[in-house]
């Protein structure tokens, strides 16, 4: 029976991790497959909203999903 309880606890732990609501900047950048600097540029351009919890900056799963599924273009300065 102890093994069954461990399996249930492990399953619950995995489920909770996969259903996270808020992510750090580094985790968000990894999920979007962009650099942290690119993510910071997107935040500065207000393309991805953030939430502050004290000093900590977090990004909601909803904001990441919305950005990932939106049609967006990137503009780069410099030569045309």
| Residue 3, domain member (yes or no) | no
Q: Is residue 39 within 8 Å of 32, Cβ to Cβ?
A: yes
- The token duo for 17 is 């991790």
Does residue 1 fall inside a structural domain? Answer: no
Q: Is residue 12 part of a domain?
A: no
Domain region containing 28 = 19-69
**Residue 2 within a domain:** no
Whole-prediction pTM value?
Answer: 0.67
Instruction: Please check whether residue 4 lies inside any domain of the structure.
Output: no
Edge-to-edge strands, sheet with 56-60: 22-24, 56-60, 51-53
Domain containing residue 63: CATH number: 1.10.10
Domain count, the chain: 1
What does the pLDDT look like over 16-51, one tens digit per residue? 456 899 999 999 999 999 999 999 999 999 999 999
């Amino acid at each position: 029976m102890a093994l069954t309880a461990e399996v249930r606890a492990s399953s619950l732990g995995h489920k909770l991790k996969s259903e996270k609501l808020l992510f750090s900047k580094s985790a968000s950048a990894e999920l979007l497959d962009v650099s942290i600097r690119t993510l910071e540029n997107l935040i500065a351009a207000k393309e991805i909203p953030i939430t502050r919890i004290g000093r900590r900056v977090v990004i909601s799963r909803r904001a990441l999903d919305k950005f990932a599924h939106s049609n967006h273009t990137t503009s780069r300065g410099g030569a045309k």
